């Protein structure tokens, strides 16, 4: 049986006693799923996993969701288009993966679509000697601890989740720059959502850039969003992942945000990544 040990007060747990590359029985998958719903972010260390093995393991948690459009307009792994590459490495002058070596600002994945993925899995193959840590934040906690006026200010409101830029600030292929957030292309989501599986309410922010809260002037919306983001990303709500080669991280994309620190552009960082289709169609409005 697997072991589960907490990694930080707010969220995150380490899973022990499992080899992701080997066939995993249903009871173990059920135990991992339960730990994932409880702790939001899971880490499995010391893994050695091929792409087909990572795909097999990922599929145990639901249908794979292919990567969103990257800035270069074609899959990084043509033989596995459902797998994404997160890397700053260039081969022959061309990037072999997404997100480069700069900071990736706080975000949840692909919330610019109506049904964003429920889970992300990220497996580290090469890591820089320092920098490039990833942080996750707990959006149940963020919602539950929201000051009363802020809760009231977002009650029944939606926000736009801009599709134009990725979390590294790079424009996605085919999008024009946004000058007015009210007209940003991308899904409109309720700011408070009921988690489809746990039934708990969480704050659903997506990303800050070009966000806009319905029913307010642009200035009011900006001020409100600044308050919400400052509240939601305070250090007490976060867990910091200091990567080792062979770490597999698996997060609940419905009730967390994440960000990544910049690292030395001369260092190499390589991760392979999958994600699982969302289940928002089954959710009850909060
Ligand atoms: C992602 C992501 C952060 C990182 O894969 O969705 O945001 O640490 N990655 O590379
Ligand atoms: Mn991400």
The pLDDT tens digits of the residues spanning 103-157 come to 999 999 999 999 999 999 999 999 999 999 999 999 999 999 999 999 999 999 9
Assess whether pLDDT exceeds 80 at residue 69.
Answer: no
pLDDT given for residue 172 in this prediction: 85
Compute the average pLDDT of residues 66-93. Answer: 92
pLDDT given for residue 158 in this prediction: 98
CB 99 near ligand 1, within 6 Å: yes
What are the tokens at 161? 């989740």
Phi, psi of 233 (to 5 degrees): -110, 20
Residue 35 · residue 4 · CB < 8 Å: yes
Residue indicated by tokens 């260092």: 267
pLDDT given for residue 73 in this prediction: 81
Atom of ligand 1 nearest to the CA of 167: 7
Compute the average pLDDT of residues 259-281. Answer: 98
Instruction: Convert the pLDDT of each residue in 43-53 to its tens digit.
Output: 999 999 999 99
Give the separation between CA 16 and CA 3, rounded to whole angstroms: 5
Q: How many CB atoms lie within 10 A of CB 231?
A: 16
Residue 244 · residue 269 · CB < 8 Å: no
Question: Over the chain, what is the mean pLDDT?
Answer: 96
Return the domain boundaries, the chain. 3-279
Q: How many CB atoms lie within 10 A of CB 274?
A: 26
Instruction: Convert the pLDDT of each residue in 81-114 to its tens digit.
Output: 999 999 999 999 999 999 999 999 999 999 999 9
Assess whether pLDDT exceeds 80 at residue 278.
Answer: yes
Residue 243 · residue 56 · CB < 8 Å: no
Instruction: Convert the pLDDT of each residue in 168-203 to its tens digit.
Output: 888 888 889 999 999 999 999 999 999 999 999 999
Top-confidence residue, 230 or 71: 230
Instruction: Give the ligand whose atoms come closest to the C-alpha of residue 83.
Output: 1
Instruction: Give the ligand whose atoms come closest to the C-alpha of residue 103.
Output: 1
Residue 105 · residue 167 · CB < 8 Å: yes
Assess whether pLDDT exceeds 90 at residue 35.
Answer: yes
Residue 67 · residue 99 · CB < 8 Å: no
Phi, psi of 140 (to 5 degrees): -70, -50
19 CA distance to ligand 2 middle (Å): 25
CB 166 near ligand 1, within 6 Å: no
CB 203 near ligand 1, within 6 Å: no
1 CA distance to ligand 2 middle (Å): 30
Give the separation between CA 274 and CA 286, rounded to whole angstroms: 28
Residue nearest to atom 3 of ligand 1 (CA): 260
Compute the average pLDDT of residues 161-170. Answer: 92
pLDDT given for residue 71 in this prediction: 76
Assess whether pLDDT exceeds 90 at residue 208.
Answer: yes
Give the separation between CA 134 and CA 260, rounded to whole angstroms: 4
Q: Which of 68-72, 77-81, 163-167, 230-234 has the lowest mean pLDDT?
A: 68-72
CB 11 near ligand 1, within 6 Å: no
Q: How many CB atoms lie within 10 A of CB 93?
A: 5
Give the separation between CA 212 and CA 186, rounded to whole angstroms: 11
pLDDT given for residue 125 in this prediction: 98
pLDDT given for residue 185 in this prediction: 95
Q: What is the band of 160 on the pLDDT scale with cuts at 50, 70, 90?
A: very high
Residue 157 · residue 215 · CB < 8 Å: yes
Top-confidence residue, 2 or 173: 2
- Burial label for 71, CB within 10 Å (0-12, 13-18, 19+), is middle
134 CA distance to ligand 2 middle (Å): 10
pLDDT given for residue 126 in this prediction: 98
CATH topology of domain 3-279: Double-stranded beta-helix (3.60.130)
């Amino acid at each position: 049986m697997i072991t589960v040990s907490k990694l930080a007060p707010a969220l995150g747990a380490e899973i022990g006693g499992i080899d992701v590359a080997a066939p995993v029985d249903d009871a173990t998958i059920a135990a991992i799923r339960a730990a994932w719903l409880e702790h939001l972010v899971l880490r499995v260390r010391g893994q050695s996993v091929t792409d087909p093995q990572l795909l097999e393991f990922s599929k145990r948690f639901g249908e794979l969701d292919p990567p969103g459009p990257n800035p270069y307009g074609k899959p990084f792994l043509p033989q596995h288009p459902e797998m994404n590459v997160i890397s700053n490495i260039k081969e022959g002058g061309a990037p072999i993966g997404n997100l480069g070596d700069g900071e990736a600002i706080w975000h949840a994945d692909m919330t610019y679509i109506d049904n964003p993925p429920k889970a992300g899995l990220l497996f580290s193959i090469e890591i820089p000697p320092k920098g490039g840590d990833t942080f996750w934040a707990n959006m149940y906690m963020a919602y539950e601890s929201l000051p009363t006026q802020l809760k009231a200010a977002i009650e029944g409101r939606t926000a736009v989740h801009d599709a134009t830029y990725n979390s590294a600030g790079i424009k996605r292929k085919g999008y024009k720059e946004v000058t007015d957030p009210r007209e940003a292309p991308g899904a409109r989501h309720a700011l408070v959502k009921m988690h489809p599986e746990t039934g708990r309410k969480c704050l659903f922010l997506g990303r800050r850039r070009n966000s806009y809260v319905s029913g307010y002037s642009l200035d009011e919306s900006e001020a409100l969003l600044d308050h919400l983001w400052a509240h939601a990303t305070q250090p007490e709500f976060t867990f910091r992942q200091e990567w080792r080669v062979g770490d597999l991280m698996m997060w609940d994309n419905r009730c967390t945000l994440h960000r990544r620190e910049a690292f030395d552009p001369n260092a190499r960082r390589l991760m392979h990544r999958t994600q699982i289709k969302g289940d928002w169609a089954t959710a009850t409005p909060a």
